[in-house]
A = this chain, B = another copy of it.
Amino acid sequence: MTYAELVKDRAPLIHNITNQVVMNITANGLYAIGASPLMAHEQEEMTDIINIADALVLNIGTITEPVFQAMQVAGKKATEKKIPIVLDPVGVGASDYRMRVVLHLLETLKVSLIRGNAAEIMTLVLLKQAGKGVEGGIETDATAVARAFYRRYRIPVVVTGKEDIIYNGNILSKLKNGSPALKQVTGTGCLLTSVIAAFLAVADDGHYIEAATEAVSFYTVASEMAAEKSKLPGSFQVQFIDQLAALTVSEWEKRAMIEVMR
């Protein structure tokens, strides 16, 4: 069974402490792949919520102090419960505050995987802003960025961009699917982070790298199918949610371009 099928079969409950811009598309995208989304960020209920959750997503896109505190409570409990924690350091280079938040989470929690664009991940390697704004947009070798990040933090990493790189210190996967239309729609990076969390939630922790690779591949193949219907951003977003729901395992396998290096 593929991880995509396991997600549909088990409907893992993914708890997202995420930004206000993308909550809606994140919930709809998780439903589309068959997972159960949950969004909450009141500190007082974080322990109870993690008790029923199968994975935790921490996304700092519109982070505030109260939400950061909720992340710490949820992350501590998720670390104890040994469910996957996936971190999305949205725009980490945009402020010293974001950098402090991300470093604190990386230091105090057992983060299972981090997902960002090359600029965000490189910012965490350099400990200062690489590229511009939230979107980054640095031209660099994503493979080198992934390796440098892992060397510093020893945490599996997904670097998304024209090609997507997944690296856990051992296996490096390079994925060549996807559509440029993804960059025109807000939240497609954030949703991918949550989709990865859903795939990790149905995997043994020795197989997170395979589950993450399949998640990214499945997601980017769905984006290609959506872009075949429309490349304009409004229609593309609608089609993308449709294709996340409609994509079959056989269609995915036919299109997936994954290069694995050890």
Which residues of B have CB within 8 Å of A19? 39
Q: How often does this chain occur in the complex, in copies?
A: 3
Which residues of B have CB within 8 Å of A20? 20, 23, 39
Give the total of A residues in contact with B, Cβ under 8 Å. Answer: 57
Question: Which partner residue on chain B sits nearest A239 by CB separation?
Answer: B234
**Max chain B C-beta neighbours (<10 A), residue from A42, A52, A234:** A234
Which residues of B have CB within 8 Å of A240? 234
Whether the Cβ atoms of A48 and B91 lie closer than 8 Å is: no
Query: How distant is A197 from chain B, measured CB to nearest CB, in Å?
Result: 15
Q: Is A71 at the interface (CB under 8 A from chain B)? A: no
Query: With A48-B95, A65-B42, A133-B38 known to touch, is A186 a contact of B28 (CB < 8 Å)?
Result: yes
| Chain A residues close to B by CB (< 8 Å) | 13, 19-25, 27-28, 31-32, 36-42, 44-45, 48-49, 52, 61-66, 91, 94-98, 132-135, 184-187, 230, 232-235, 237-242, 245-246
